[in-house]
Structure 1
Amino acid sequence: MERNRIIRSSDAKTSVVNVDWCDSLLCAYHTTRASVISSANLLTHQQSPKFWTVPPVDHLRLDVDAAYNINSNIYAIGGIVRNHEGQPVLAFGKHIIKPPSVTAAELFAIEEGIQMTQNHHLRIHQLTSDSLLAVQAVTCPKEDLGYNGTIVTNIRRLLESRSQLQLDHVMRTANTVAHSLASFAVSSSSPFVWKFGEFPSWLVKLVITDLVSS
């Protein structure tokens, strides 16, 4: 109905308006299609973990997330690396440019997490995100990538170069520390990277709560 109204309306539309409308319609199509695919996959796939769990001995786990403040219109990402005892090894957060979609923001978090651990020479074995759409976009080769094609391709290349790294989906309740870091990054005036011995007390408390709950 909206399409017919715009095409048949007697009001003249500039090319810019028409392009913006088409762009919004295409974005809405990809978002709706991805949601339908995800709903179908949820019926056939094993339930994602609801609580944070420690990785195997001598393995490192990286959890990432994205956050958004509707008032300031600021997007940010955050992540944390923990060892098999649940102890934090590295934490980071930063602002990102406004993404074309929420899923794109989650994909930026995944990409930045891999690159951050590479820069700090950390051998990560498990990477988790609470965005099912983002995980499926990366792990399903036949998925229609839509607006996220470029970043998904970059992430797949990064994963191929690190064959030991597995990308998994978890529930939000299993990703609370990464979400808190992304939320903190939204209000932070500058990006941050914390290593062992530098973690703020609020982050340590969140990590302990994760361990107690698991």
Structure 2
Amino acid sequence: MDGDRKGQCSSLNHNSKTWRKMWSLQAPQATKSFLWRAAKESLPTCLNLYKRKMVDSPLCPVCHRVPESVTHAIWSCSAAQDVWSMSTKRIQKLNVEDGPFVEVLKPLLENLSSHELTEVAVTARAIWNKRNQWLFEQSFHSPFQVVNILEWTAPPSSFYKANWDVAVDKGKSRIGVGVIVRDSSGMVMASMCSSMLLDPDPLLGEAVAALKASTLCSNIGLDQVMLEGDSLAVVQAVQSREECWSPTGLVIRDIKLVLSRICTWSIHHISRRLNVVAHVLAKFALTCSGEHTFMEDYPPCIRNLL
């Protein structure tokens, strides 16, 4: 009996670490609550409802092959796997077995970075929403649509968040820059599309895009700003005190100079899949000429993403 108690205590301690790490994710509260419900096996899957005698069949309503457990619904169903196959390679390569969903989460929480875990949380919720839309509204979303229905995380109250990205046209030696600035309620304060001739070096292009985002925030008088982009190298360079005299390094110096005029600022790296609005703006910028800034407005290309 003593051995049983020790085993239970160890298991509880392990789960306690899982819960703490899960609740510390940089994701919307609703998404973390969804993940907690999934880990507690409390989602209304067909199997759970069948056990409560609320439905006639436990089979998955999507594939109709096996009972729909929580793990099956948001991880191992063929429809779910179609979505996970579009995630980052580190997520795809993890060998996760079927079982209670908390057992699926543990290796993910132990092996993935913070922004990869945010991607997992948001994607899992998007898959569940896709399943519900299919079941209750007969509305079908392709895997590509699902991975783009991802949630933007609002900044704290009184802060503004600027997301930036770049698109590169190597054939024409052009880059397109996309920037969007939103407040803590998600309202768009400004957006920008900028196209220019530039050596098609992706890192240099990302640095130029970050400079455009910083300058836009400074020019419209924002004094508490969070910047987000999907170039880890640029984010780390801006955070570093080291200086580099390469073309990219000189742009980084300009970014730091512009940000020094802003009272409170921070810069963060996020997954491209969480930066989709800025990415679409950057692609759209390649079809434009020059630079276009929209105050409290945005181009039609991102209307369905906001």
Give TM class, smaller chain.
Answer: 0.5 to 0.7
Give the aligned residue type for 1:88. Answer: V
Alignment partner, residue 305 of structure 2: 206
Distance 2:171 2:193 in 1: 19
Of 106-115 and 67-76, the range deviating more from structure 2: 67-76
CA displacement 1:116-153 (0-9 Å, x = unmatched): 12222233420011001111111122476644221111
CA contact 2:211–2:255 (8 Å) conserved in 1: yes
Distance 2:154 2:207 in 1: 23
TM-score, normalised relative to structure 1: 0.68
Distance 2:284 2:209 in 1: 14
Alignment partner, residue 90 of structure 1: 190
2:207 to 93, 103, 107: 107
Alignment partner, residue 159 of structure 1: 259
Residues 26-37 of structure 1: pairs in structure 2 closer than 5 A: none
Residues 143-154 of structure 1: pairs in structure 2 closer than 5 A: 146-154=246-254
Distance 1:100 1:163, change over 3 A: farther
1:163 Cα deviation (Å)?
Answer: 4.0
CA contact 1:100–1:147 (8 Å) conserved in 2: no
Alignment partner, residue 81 of structure 1: 181
Paired residue secondary structure (1:65)? strand
2:293 to 183, 193, 200: 193
Distance 2:218 2:172 in 1: 31
Give the aligned residue type for 1:103. Answer: L
1:121 to 221, 227, 230: 221
Give the aligned residue type for 1:203. Answer: I
1:92 Cα deviation (Å)?
Answer: 0.3
Overall identity of the aligned pairs, in %: 25
CA contact 1:94–1:185 (8 Å) conserved in 2: yes
Distance 2:262 2:161 in 1: 14
1:189 Cα deviation (Å)?
Answer: 2.6
Distance 2:246 2:290 in 1: 31
Distance 1:151 1:70, change over 3 A: closer
Alignment partner, residue 88 of structure 2: none
Alignment partner, residue 70 of structure 1: 170
1:98 Cα deviation (Å)?
Answer: 1.2
2:236 to 114, 136, 155: 136
Distance 2:251 2:290 in 1: 24
Structure 1 gap segments, 5+ residues each: 1-43, 208-214
1:183 Cα deviation (Å)?
Answer: 0.7
CA contact 1:145–1:152 (8 Å) conserved in 2: no
CA contact 1:62–1:124 (8 Å) conserved in 2: no
Give the aligned residue type for 1:193. Answer: T
Larger Rg: 2
RMSD: 2.4
Give the aligned length: 163
CA contact 2:178–2:282 (8 Å) conserved in 1: yes
Paired residue secondary structure (1:57)? coil
CA contact 1:117–1:124 (8 Å) conserved in 2: no
Give the aligned residue type for 2:183. Answer: N
Distance 2:234 2:265 in 1: 16
CA contact 2:218–2:259 (8 Å) conserved in 1: no
Q: Between the two structures, name the one with larger relative contact order (CA 8 Å, sep ≥ 6).
A: 1
Alignment partner, residue 12 of structure 1: none
Question: Quick check: 1:47 aligned with 2:152?
Answer: no
Distance 2:183 2:262 in 1: 18
Paired residue secondary structure (1:81)? strand
Give the aligned residue type for 2:303. Answer: V
Structure 2 gap segments, 5+ residues each: 1-110, 120-150
